[in-house]
Amino acid sequence: MVTFLLSIVILVIGYFTYGKVVEKIFGVKEERSTPAYSMSDGVDYVPMNTKKNSMIQLLNIAGVGPIFGPIMGALYGPVAFLWIVLGAIFAGAVHDYLTGMISIRNRGAHLPELAGKFLGKFMKHVVNAFSILLLVLVGTVFVTAPAALIADLTPAWITLGVIIAAIFIYYIVATLLPIDKIIGRLYPFFGLLLLISAIGVGGGLVITGADIPEINLTNMHPAGTAIFPLLFLTISCGALSGFHATQSPIISRTTQNEKQGRKIFYGMMILEAIIAMIWAAAGMSLFDSAELQNILNTAGPAAVVSEVSILMLGSFGGTLAILGVIVLPITSGDTAFRSARMIIADYIKVGQKKISARLWIAVPLFVISIALTQIDFNLLWRYFSWANQSTAMIALWVGAMYLGLQKKNHWISTVPAIFMTMVTFTYILSAPIGFGLSMQAAYIGATVITIVSTLTFFYSLRKRLGLDQNIQVDDDLGYTA
């Protein structure tokens, strides 16, 4: 219990200390006009206040990731707490803040545009493909996961197929309509359910004196699965998630003032980490590792969510908690498809004021996603995890280059970028969904790739600074090396 409570305290302190350091390094300008005003279109560029933007950002980024991921990560034992705390403060929140703020400085640009500007034209095309893949996978995962939870709460005659269809209908409406019509109005109510869920389960753990294990770096995974790199992909949302880099630009287009960025981007990542801590602690304290793995293998993480909620809060409170969990993936799925539409529109340069332009881009995305719902969830999650953390790696390199070109302390982004490069390449080289190499070969290959990537970054940075001492890094999306 001490480790659990101390971890939450450290996360809060991290927001007020390291968050301010990151904000100072970036250098906010309160007097600078944001895209919400300079590019207002009544659809995606719509000024909204800090409270509303913060709630939407939290619900956007906090899908099932900070719940399902930590529950599966609980198999490793309390070492998972360490990754959530350190990952959120020094990587995840930095990642979210930089992608959101750099987007604000560049007319609300999404990650592919930013990658093209700061890492070269080739990376724009690579990241565009990665982002669309990730967002479609996210949208699909965030249909099947809440549908399974809803099915447990509804009569048998309401089939899983009907529930999935209903969620897709909501996604289509939320994707096509202006952001303040559906998302802006519904999210405050969804946010209330989220808070009830998190506070209820977290409070239940404290009040009942749950046997939450103290910090221990021993790998407790019952199957002996290695901590590196699997833990850092299993727990993504809640510590560090590339999906957030696709969501922050949505809110960069509605932010009224740059000073609001720390609360919206850095702060909401810290709050998501607290949610992750609660569910990781619940998984560790209410089940032994063998029992937890058995539930995950036979019924999936949704079953753990249901059981934890009922055990902690009883039938009524547990149902409210489950509804709060259901809200998370649904409010990330809708903006996943919305973000995919915006990225494609930016890439092919098609305006989005007319609903017909939004429709012909969005429909194929939903058709693909519907087809993907037929694939096993665990397989989808593995692909999602790799695509997710690969996107995070790229976003961190973008942030590092941005700060480097401004001759600011780029190490706050460079260090986590190097670490995640090693993680993602070790995984794809060794995983069955990748190259299937031995772990030793994967470590060697990933080390070589990480070194080459790091040297390439510094070479490119020095080259650009040498060519132009006054490089324009803001408001010029046409700039490339």
| CB neighbour burial string for 86-120, b if at least 16 within 10 angstroms, e if fewer | bbbbbbbbbbbbbbbbbbbbbbbbbbbbbbbbbbe
| Average pLDDT over the chain, rounded to an integer | 87
State the pLDDT at residue 385.
81
pLDDT at 381: 66
Residue bearing tokens 């206040």: 49
Q: Residue 256: what pLDDT?
A: 95
Set out the domains of the chain in order of their start, with CATH numbers: 2-29+42-104+127-380 (1.20.1740)
Q: Residues 74, 290: contact at Cβ < 8 Å?
A: no
pLDDT tens column, 285-324: 888 888 888 888 877 777 788 888 888 877 777 777 777 7
pLDDT of residue 480 exceeding 60, the answer is: no
The dihedral through the CA atoms of 257, 258, 263, 268 has a sign that is: positive
Query: For the chain, what percent of residues have pLDDT higher than 70?
Result: 96
Q: Which pLDDT tens digit goes with each residue over 233-255?
A: 989 888 999 989 988 998 999 99
Predicted local distance difference test score (pLDDT) of residue 196: 75
> Which run of H or E residues covers position 192?
helix 183-207
Taking each helix axis from N to C terminus, what angle separates 301-348 and 121-153, rounded to the nearest 10 degrees? 140
- The encoded tokens of residue 22 equal 């990151």
Question: Are the beta carbons of 54 and 267 closer than 8 angstroms?
Answer: yes
pLDDT at position 140 is 81
Contact present, 183 and 334 (Cβ < 8 Å): yes
DSSP state of 374: T
C-alpha distances (whole Å) from 383 to each of 133, 137, 142, 431, 434 are 10, 8, 14, 10, 10
**pTM value?**
0.88
CA-based nearest residue to 237, from 326, 329, 132, 168: 329
Nearest partner of 80 among 247, 285, 346, 350, judged by Cα: 285
> What's the pLDDT at 481?
39
Helix (H/G/I), strand (E/B), else coil: 354? coil
Is the predicted pLDDT of residue 416 greater than 80, yes or no? Answer: yes
Would you list the DSSP string of 383-394?
A: HHHHHHHHHHHH
Taking only the tens place, the pLDDT of each residue in 77-123 is 999 999 999 999 999 999 999 999 999 999 999 898 999 999 988 88
On the CB side of 146, CA atoms within 13 Å amount to: 30
468 or 445: whose pLDDT is higher? 445
Q: What is the pLDDT of residue 398?
A: 96
